A = this chain, B = another copy of it.
Amino acid sequence: MAEDTVGACLKKSARALAEIKRRKPLVHNITNYVVTNDTANILLHIGASPVMAHAAEEVEDMVQIAGALVLNIGTLDRQWVESMLLAGRAATARRVPVVFDPVGAGATRYRTEVSLKILEEVRPQVLRGNAAEVSVLAGMEAEVLGVDAGRTAASTGEIAARAARRFGTAAAVTGPQDAVCDGSRLFLVDNGHPMLGGLTGTGCMVTALTAAFLAVEEDAAAAAVGALVTFGLAAEKAAQKASTPASFKTALFDEVYLLAPAELISGARVEAVLL
């Protein structure tokens, strides 16, 4: 049965990738200024249409015409948080799906508090973070060191399962093994490559890709798995072409562009765990 669960999920993921390329959904990003250019480009490369807009005067208008919304607190401040809440509430009201990336939650109290507020007031479809960030938010033991590093007691699978239950959302938790849980199913994803750790914003890129998938696929877990497998496979292929980080980055972006829906099924290394 676990195999069937994986197969059904990947079928949806692959169909969604084809749909992204066909429909070019608009993805509205309120994200950090470290990754804006990379985020916009990777969304274009996968076939989506990115827009960045953060002014309180317009976020509610912008999110109405979007297929999905990304909220990412990587370089938050008070005004941006206000805009995230405005946009997030408008998205929820209009049934525009939301992906939330709690970058650096646990590193400062402010990031933890803002993350919990967004989770409570916006109720995103997907919470996408690294193991330490999501652990802290889910009330599990963890140490967060900045935005890229941390230590957790639990596995990504345990963290995703706990976060999904606690927040009533799908949780996509990245680490050496990625995990996606929507409360009823838990997927473990082994695609990816260690070289991703040598680039800034790779987590943020997966978050943005998850939003592109969510714009065309209602099954939040299948969307998150689709984004993780797509990005992980592209990284694996890029690592065959480049062994230094800047060359790898160029290859990574090119491979995201090249990845065909069928490869998503043939290349996936995903297993399902029954809860």
Contacts and interface: CB of A to CB of B under 8 A. Distances in A.
Nearest to A255: B244
A35 B34 contact: no
A122 B269 CA distance: 51
A53 to B, nearest CB: 7
Main secondary structure on chain A at its contact with chain B?
A: mixed
Number of copies of chain A assembled together: 3
Interface in A226-267: 244-247, 249-254, 257-258
A273 interface: no
A147 interface: yes
Interface of A: 24, 26, 32-38, 40-41, 44-45, 49-58, 61-62, 65-66, 74-79, 104, 107-111, 145-149, 198-201, 244-247, 249-254, 257-258
A65 B257 contact: no
Contacts of A65: 107, 145-146
A41 B257 contact: no
**When A and B form their complex, which 8 residue pairs have the shortest distance between CB atoms, in order from nearest?**
A246-B253, A244-B254, A40-B200, A58-B110, A55-B77, A61-B108, A58-B108, A51-B146
Nearest to A253: B246
A149 B198 contact: no
A43 to B, nearest CB: 8
Given A77-B55, A245-B257, A41 B110 contact: no
B257 A198 contact: yes
Contact of A51 (B58, B66, B147, B254): B147
Residue from A26, A41, A49, A199 having most chain B Cβ neighbours under 10 A: A41
